[in-house]
Amino acid sequence: MGKMSTHDSIIVIAIVTMLLCGFAEAETYTVEDKAKWSDWPNGKSFKSGDILIFNYDPSVHNVVIVSKENYNSCTISGTILNSGHDNVTLTSGTNYFICGAEGHCKGGMKMAITAT
C-alpha cells in the first residue's frame, strides 16, 4: 500500500467528522409534573442543545426560566412559559427552572440543570 494522498486524507477526516457529529446529536427529555422537579435530573447527563419538554396541566403549573438568584429565592422573574407542553433548549452552563404557581417552587418544583 502506498501513502495516502492529501485528497484521501481530507475525505477520511470529513467522514470521521460526520460520524462524530452524529454522536453529538441533541437528546430530548420529557419532564412530567408527577414528581418534584428537583429530583428529576438525578442520574441524567445533559449537553448544550438538548431539549427539555415540560408536560403539565397549565391550569395548575407553569415553567419560569430564571436566574440563579431567583432560583435560590423562588422569585418569579424571568421567561414564563404556560402552554402545558413547552420545549426548552438547554444552553451551556447551568439552566434554572421553577414553577411559578404559589408555593410550588418551595415545595420542590424547581430544578437546576448543568449542560456541558
User: For the chain, what are the domain ranges?
Assistant: 26-115
Q: Does residue 87 carry a pLDDT above 60?
A: yes
Q: Which fold has domain 26-115?
A: Immunoglobulin-like (2.60.40)
- Side-chain half-sphere CA neighbours of 68 within 13 A: 4
Q: Does residue 22 carry a pLDDT above 50?
A: no
pTM: 0.77
Q: Which pLDDT score, from 0 to 100, does residue 30 have?
A: 94
Q: Which pLDDT score, from 0 to 100, does residue 7 have?
A: 64
For the chain, give the mean pLDDT. Answer: 86
- Tell me whether residue 95 is exposed, middle or buried, using C-beta atoms within 10 angstroms of its C-beta: 0 to 12, 13 to 18, 19 or more: buried
Q: Which pLDDT score, from 0 to 100, does residue 15 have?
A: 61
